[in-house]
Structure 1
Amino acid sequence: MAALQEAKYDDDSIRTLDWKEHIRLRPGMYIGKLGDGVSPDDGIYVLVKEVMDNCIDEHMMGFGKQIDIQIEDKTVSVRDFGRGIPLGKVVDVVSKINTGAKYDSKAFQKSVGLNGVGTKAVNALSDWFRVQSFRDGETKYAEFEKGELIKESKLEKTDQPNGTLVTFIPDNTVFKNFKFKLEFVDDLLWNYCYLNAGLVIIFNKKRYVSRNGLLDLLQKKTNEDDLRYPIIHLSGEDIEIALSHNSDYGEDLFSFVNGQYTTQGGTHQQAFREAFVKTIRDFYKKDYDAADIRQSIVAAIAIRVQEPVFESQTKTKLGSQHVFEGGPTVRSFVLDFMSKQLDNFLHRNTETADALKKRIEQSERERKELSGIKKLANERAKKANVHNKKLRDCKYHFNEEPTGKNKEEALEMVNKSMIFITEGDSASGSITKSRNVDNQAVFSLRGKPLNSFGLTKKIVYENEEFNLLQHALNIEDGLDGLRYNKIVIATDADVDGMHIRLLIMTFFLQFFPDLVKQKHVYILETPLFRVRNKQQTIYCYDETEKQAAIKKLGNKPEITRFKGLGEISPEEFGGFIGDDIRLAPVLLDQGAHIQSLLEYFMGKNTPQRQDFIIGNLRVEIDLAEEEKL
């Protein structure tokens, strides 16, 4: 056996990267995943958030009541009216690691960003970046390209109010083919407003403001008619809580720390869940099951802590154990507040207390009714899972810790994990043959699923297909065990395919609404046309792209229209579900109410829906005839 050749390891092997090289080489350490903008946690939104966090920190310290933000195509501009960066440090603050005011706890007592990395990461990962400070009648700006300083102005006089203006264009070589979805930015900005009552944000000329904090958030996220009792709104020093119960399944929790939306929860969210259960048990003097107490809860909690410890640079999960050094633990702080304030509220509001008790006892009855059915269904599912022909699984899963020599690559696969839900053998066959077995699974439906609107969760266990899908996703007991980050509905773009999409989305919204609310559900976009000549093939997703392709290739190229997924060969399909995959997220508008939506689209044939259909009927020109025109 030939001896292995050892890699040369000497003084020349040791490299020291400057700040921008390190950020560009390992962007995941600073902003999480990259992405193209199709997911709310993609890097381009983290860049916006990092700049906004600095503006919010200024507001929290009492400087600046308004923030202006504009996103035009790929250019982002954020202007606050705080104190403005000290003019002598305009360059250093955005280009030198370990430089910033956040290290001075006197200047920023309870800020979001404490490591001084945020705007440096934005600078390093931007094709073009400009920062300008206005301070006491003077201004200075600096411009960068990919973190490299290209222009620095001298001090100039200005009549502009104090504050900072940051403008940047994310680097297209890092965030490939990215595009901002303004709905995600909308969510981000509303959260800032809910957590900072009175703050005004102007985004693309639209005004955002909240007067009642988390009460406004829950009112926008819920339908008043679905709530079992009026929203309970409690606030104290460094803590605010709003909560109610509705008729949805699961728990709908929004948690925040120092103005940061912690999508993955953390110590404060877990403390709230425990404190709520304990307070309810103590108040009613009954040992209710924790699941029954929290079933259908919709709640928001916001706390402020000194020097928060987050489990990643993207600050999506709080790791802090204490509110401030030497002070109470987060757990005891939340428990003490809940045990006093919620208990007092329930004693003073007996109608709310009675309604809350009835909701808990209803959940208890439903759980006991389901227990026998669940046992039989789970036994069937275990047998089916041994030879589950519906599921073609993948190697990496969203609920598992990445393993192996290269954990960074493994983590990327975990975050990219997805499951395609397909209909019919031909479609699932094409995807199965062309998928990436590391991170792409396939679940095949045998036909149109049942319309589950208005049905109880009992049907999930009685319907074999629903039960197997629930087990494949591992969501029976909540989203903590979700096996795939993206659930991709892959159906034909015809009438039947659209109907199947609606039925699957109805299933998720009826029984697992958090999957949609937390933006795990997507629609796979596949090309409608293939335009080619002997030299080049272009796949087009709509009529506009088709016309552009025809113009580019010229001389009457061959045009093929795909009518279904089964018509696309596995070789071709591989190109549509790889790095250039196009996914459309299933989004709920701010203020959209699930039961009302389902009633309109999936309920009995309502007059409103009839009127809509009649008013929007169109006669389609036959495609073959259209080509001749």
Structure 2
Amino acid sequence: MAEVNYTEDSIRSLDWREHIRLRPGMYIGKLGDGSSTDDGIYILVKEIIDNSIDEYVMGNGKTIEIKVSDHKVVVRDYGRGIPLGKVIDCVSKINTGGKYDSKAFQKSVGLNGVGTKAANALSSYFKVQSVRDGQMKTAEFEQGILTVDHPVTETSQRNGTLVTFVPDDTIFRNYHFIPEYLENLIWNYVYLNAGLTIHFNGQKYYSENGLKDLLARKIDAESQRYPIVHLKGDDIEVALTHGNEYGEEYYSFVNGQYTTQGGTHLAAFREAVVKTVREFYKKDYDASDVRASIVGAISVRVQEPVFESQTKTKLGSQTIGPDLPTVRAFVNDFLKEHLDNYLHKNPAAADALKRRIEQSERERKDMAGIKKLANQRAKKANLHNRKLRDCRIHFDADKSEKALLTTLFITEGDSASGSITKSRNVETEAVFSLRGKPLNCFGLKKKVVYENEEFNLLQHALNIEEGIEDLRYNRVVIATDADVDGMHIRLLLLTFFLQFFPDLVKNGHVFILETPLFRVRNKKETIYCYNETEKQQAMRKLGKNPEITRFKGLGEISPDEFGKFIGDNIRLEPVILRNETSIQKILTYYMGKNTPERQQFIIENLKIEKDLVEEEVEVYA
């Protein structure tokens, strides 16, 4: 073997923008096309807004204006504005930030402004403009490279900073912003900063009551078993109630940052609620009964927080700050005093909470026998589970950015399962094969999950029996044919998830796989089309008499072709629950009795190809 010289020439030093563009995952997690809440394009938006929020927290500017179109983002705040001589450095030099050695910034979101540099480097166009005391400085960049350095000019505009950027479509392929994701992001900012006004695409967002307003938006008054408990202290705010749905639902924040994967503060909150409740009622309730159907939110402020990634989605800090108590002790002590006081002062709420806990206890005991048998069956099946073709990396066990790509495809039929199994990425993509149509579980009790072998095996494959903290795959993708039967299977699976594991949907883990309906090709080129419009465009592009194939089912797509649709170019439609409608109302509407209104709605709103016959629609409806 030839000897390789290891000299100074072997070491390559990348400049800041090259490094970010070569390793974007280190700065913004996964790239994605915008179909997931944790995709990189939302992290870029967040990094820019975070700087404006820090200005507000410091007492500068009560309004932020945000405009987002398909590809362009504009953020304008009315803070102090970046010092004019440092405008270029602040968005293009790593370790340049206004927050070092400043007590005022001890509990801010961003420290050294790396996020702004990432947004600059990963944008095809980036403009920063700062206004300070009648003077304005503007600079423009492309992919992090300064293209126009405008001289300082006089202006009558109010102080503040304006950032405009267009994410680079060579890095974020086929990306699009989903308005609901941005709306949730903006609501969280106003809940955590009572008194702040954000104008987003012409609409006003404002909150007076912080986390109490957040929960009121997430759970309607009819579903609350007792009024929302809202507790505030120095560096901590908590809100909680119990509803009627299965599962636990939490929203956790650190220094104004939404920690989607929780961390030490959320673990402490869950533990402290159980401990306080047990002590108040002087009963050793099972922790799962206390937390069943809880909807809660916690926000803490921590000095020098340690997050488990640059995207700040999970808190790793153990203490509130130097020489201060641990996060666990801090949260525990706060709830022990304030939640206990609340329950003593509000006997009606305390009574309603007790009834909710005892209802969960009865349901759990009622299920115990069937659960034990089902779990024994599942344990045996897991040793040679023919329904599951697993992958190597799992979301609950792996800390790398690859874990964000872990996907479980739920398919129906041997041919579709076979195509996906052969073409998938065995590192991050698993396949679960259904046998025909799953059971319609609308209105059934949770023990059906254990009585029905298929549901039980799916629950075990996902590892969600005790909640979604140990979810094995970040994305759960329903992959069915785009015909009437496929649509019905899709609805039945969504009913299962919404009925028994709503937090899986609410936390943005469930998707529908979009697969092409047409293949248009000539001897030189093949184009896959997902709708009629794309087909017409492809026909115009390829010219005279291209060959057109209509895919009627996933099984017709060869494994080689399938690989192109579930790799980097995967198209996923997220299942988004809008806040206006309760899950029970949705399920009653879609899966309840066949009312004429419901039949008409489905017939009018189902996307059906022209060559599907009329009677199939009637069968489905």
Report 1:589-628 matches (<5 A): 589-606=578-595, 608-610=597-599, 612-613=601-602, 622=611
Q: Partner letter of residue 297 of structure 1?
A: I
Report 1:542-581 matches (<5 A): 542-581=531-570
Bigger drift between 611-620 and 572-581 goes to: 611-620
Match of 1:308 among 305, 308, 311: 305
1:517 is displaced (CA, Å) by 0.9
Separation of aligned partners in 2, 1:42 and 1:357: 40
Match of 1:407 in 2: none
SS in 1 for 2:151: coil
Separation of aligned partners in 1, 2:93 and 2:420: 47
Verify: 1:437 aligned to 2:437, yes or no.
no
Match of 1:503 in 2: 492
Match of 2:324 in 1: 327
Tell whether the 8 Å contact from 2:483 to 2:608 is kept in structure 1 after alignment: no
Verify: 1:35 aligned to 2:25, yes or no.
no
Separation of aligned partners in 1, 2:609 and 2:464: 41
SS in 2 for 1:52: helix
Separation of aligned partners in 2, 1:619 and 1:521: 22
Report 1:62-77 matches (<5 A): 62-77=59-74
Separation of aligned partners in 2, 1:10 and 1:567: 55
Match of 1:103 in 2: 100
Structure 1 spans left out of the alignment, 5+ residues: 403-410, 625-629
Match of 2:377 among 380, 391, 410: 380
Deviations 1:204-241 (A, max 9, x none): 11211112111111111112212211111111222111
SS in 2 for 1:102: coil
Separation of aligned partners in 2, 1:66 and 1:498: 44
Match of 1:338 among 335, 339, 346: 335
1:611 is displaced (CA, Å) by 5.5
1:190 is displaced (CA, Å) by 0.8
Separation of aligned partners in 1, 2:561 and 2:371: 42
1:7 is displaced (CA, Å) by 2.9
1:382 is displaced (CA, Å) by 1.7
Separation of aligned partners in 2, 1:278 and 1:298: 17
Tell whether the 8 Å contact from 1:247 to 1:296 is kept in structure 2 after alignment: yes
Separation of aligned partners in 2, 1:491 and 1:449: 12
Match of 1:261 in 2: 258
Match of 1:397 among 391, 394, 398: 394
1:467 is displaced (CA, Å) by 0.5
Match of 1:364 in 2: 361
Q: Partner letter of residue 337 of structure 1?
A: F
Verify: 1:158 aligned to 2:158, yes or no.
no
1:456 is displaced (CA, Å) by 1.2
Tell whether the 8 Å contact from 1:35 to 1:43 is kept in structure 2 after alignment: yes
Q: 1:240 to 1:536 in 2, by over 3 A?
A: same
1:306 is displaced (CA, Å) by 2.3
Deviations 1:369-416 (A, max 9, x none): 2221111101111222222221111222212236xxxxxxxx344221
SS in 2 for 1:479: coil
Q: Partner letter of residue 267 of structure 1?
A: T
Match of 1:482 in 2: 471
Verify: 1:45 aligned to 2:45, yes or no.
no
Match of 1:463 in 2: 452
1:15 is displaced (CA, Å) by 2.5
1:107 is displaced (CA, Å) by 4.0
Match of 2:618 in 1: none
1:465 is displaced (CA, Å) by 0.5
SS in 1 for 2:103: coil
Tell whether the 8 Å contact from 1:221 to 1:592 is kept in structure 2 after alignment: no
Tell whether the 8 Å contact from 1:532 to 1:559 is kept in structure 2 after alignment: yes
Q: Partner letter of residue 151 of structure 2?
A: K
Q: 1:543 to 1:611 in 2, by over 3 A?
A: closer
SS in 2 for 1:480: coil
Match of 2:186 in 1: 189
Indicate the percent of aligned positions where both proteins have the same amino acid: 70
Give the TM-score taking structure 1 as reference length.
Answer: 0.94
Tell whether the 8 Å contact from 2:95 to 2:113 is kept in structure 1 after alignment: yes
Q: 1:346 to 1:563 in 2, by over 3 A?
A: same
Deviations 1:333-378 (A, max 9, x none): 2122111111111111101000100111111121122221111101
Separation of aligned partners in 1, 2:5 and 2:581: 61
1:179 is displaced (CA, Å) by 1.6
Separation of aligned partners in 2, 1:371 and 1:593: 29
Tell whether the 8 Å contact from 1:101 to 1:107 is kept in structure 2 after alignment: no
Separation of aligned partners in 2, 1:518 and 1:115: 29
Q: Partner letter of residue 398 of structure 1?
A: F
1:156 is displaced (CA, Å) by 1.0
Match of 2:616 in 1: none
Bigger drift between 420-429 and 492-501 goes to: 420-429
Give the TM-score taking structure 2 as reference length.
Answer: 0.95
Verify: 1:142 aligned to 2:131, yes or no.
no
1:41 is displaced (CA, Å) by 0.5
Deviations 1:29-48 (A, max 9, x none): 11111112111111111000
Separation of aligned partners in 2, 1:458 and 1:616: 33
Structure 2 spans left out of the alignment, 5+ residues: 614-621
Q: 1:10 to 1:608 in 2, by over 3 A?
A: same
Separation of aligned partners in 1, 2:63 and 2:101: 24
Match of 1:233 in 2: 230
Separation of aligned partners in 2, 1:266 and 1:623: 49
Separation of aligned partners in 1, 2:282 and 2:560: 64
Aligned-residue Cα RMSD (Å) equals 1.8
Separation of aligned partners in 2, 1:199 and 1:264: 26
Tell whether the 8 Å contact from 2:29 to 2:401 is kept in structure 1 after alignment: no
Tell whether the 8 Å contact from 1:111 to 1:258 is kept in structure 2 after alignment: yes
Match of 2:507 among 514, 518, 542: 518
Separation of aligned partners in 1, 2:455 and 2:143: 49
Report 1:53-132 matches (<5 A): 53-132=50-129
Tell whether the 8 Å contact from 1:487 to 1:520 is kept in structure 2 after alignment: yes
Separation of aligned partners in 1, 2:607 and 2:530: 21
Separation of aligned partners in 1, 2:8 and 2:195: 58
SS in 1 for 2:66: strand
Match of 1:352 among 349, 354, 363: 349
Separation of aligned partners in 1, 2:17 and 2:607: 54
Tell whether the 8 Å contact from 1:228 to 1:355 is kept in structure 2 after alignment: yes
SS in 1 for 2:353: helix
Q: 1:617 to 1:75 in 2, by over 3 A?
A: closer
Tell whether the 8 Å contact from 2:274 to 2:287 is kept in structure 1 after alignment: yes
Tell whether the 8 Å contact from 1:420 to 1:489 is kept in structure 2 after alignment: yes
Q: 1:586 to 1:222 in 2, by over 3 A?
A: same
Q: Partner letter of residue 519 of structure 1?
A: G
1:329 is displaced (CA, Å) by 2.1
1:108 is displaced (CA, Å) by 2.0
Q: 1:5 to 1:457 in 2, by over 3 A?
A: farther
Match of 1:286 among 283, 287, 290: 283
Separation of aligned partners in 2, 1:183 and 1:389: 38
Separation of aligned partners in 1, 2:299 and 2:348: 26
SS in 2 for 1:481: coil
SS in 1 for 2:498: helix
Tell whether the 8 Å contact from 2:98 to 2:112 is kept in structure 1 after alignment: no
Separation of aligned partners in 2, 1:146 and 1:618: 39
For these two proteins, the number of residue pairs brought into alignment is 613
